[in-house]
Structure 1
């Protein structure tokens, strides 16, 4: 397991130079999920989504010794305004390069996102997860919540504490 104090490991916001890595991860994730025939992303569209004047997605990169090894990609959401006056985050994908899986990288990415969301006063983190026992266990362990099944997918909402001013 990669320890919190292990030299060279950290999470950071993606930069334009990361687009090729992000693209390759998302493509591999689609392949892993059996959804490659629905994968419509290309490097240019991804660059626009993440780094245009008005980006509509954000990405956090996990790296060790300056080598990217995983990511979490998400968007700001405003649904359910009557319930949540602050925006939330919708997680599109968490991906870890195969050589680094089962080492706590995804958990650390998720924890980084929770800290990021709390710091920026988001009210919640949501996402859907394919029905897969391993994914279910990961999310239940990481977020401490049972997942709700909706339309052949698992749905998770993590309510965040309000930041004290």
Structure 2
């Protein structure tokens, strides 16, 4: 079962963010707090949205998708950027990831959004195979660039 996250889900989502970071060998990079996540998802002006996958038997959360809207000047429409998709190891293979992405695809169709996009680490072969199985294709001619940390602070402060 897939449902829209509620404010009560914040501690669980935050815990799964840490689990995802551990899987991606980047646990040391997680700086967010539950309070920041709560504000981003449920504050006065939400910056992101989340869906929860629940175990069909127990109703326990076993995964989540955290996403935000994008806008394409080329299509003239919004889209969805999937920031995080995570299913706990004990629940993998039961269709939760497919159901989460399916819900976001449904939201795209329902709202006239042209794209559902996300990034995946180049070493994560199980995820890449899963995404190919959904019919997703890599956009190899584009590269992601990021300004952060000292580079962002230095450049952002330049006049």
Q: 2:39 is matched with which residue?
A: 48
Equivalents in 2 of 1:107, 1:12: separation in Å?
14
Per the alignment, residue 81 of structure 2 pairs with: 90
Q: Give the structure-2-normalised TM-score.
A: 0.82
Q: Which runs of 5+ in 2 are unaligned?
A: 145-159
Q: Which has the larger radius of gyration?
A: 2
> Corresponding residue for 1:7?
none
Q: Following the alignment from structure 2 to structure 1, what is the Cα–Cα distance between the partners of residues 5 and 139?
A: 30
Choose which of 55, 62, 72 in structure 2 pairs with 1:69: 62
Q: Which has the higher helix share?
A: 2
Q: Which runs of 4+ in 1 moved over 4 A?
A: none
Match of 1:22 in 2: 13
Post-superposition shift, 1:14? 0.4
Could you tell me which of 113, 121, 128 is aligned with 1:130? 121
Return the offset for 1:121.
2.0
Normalized per residue, which structure has more strand? Answer: 1
Q: Does 1:112 align with 2:103?
A: yes
Give the number of equivalent residue pairs.
140
Match among 2, 12, 22 for residue 3 of structure 2: 12
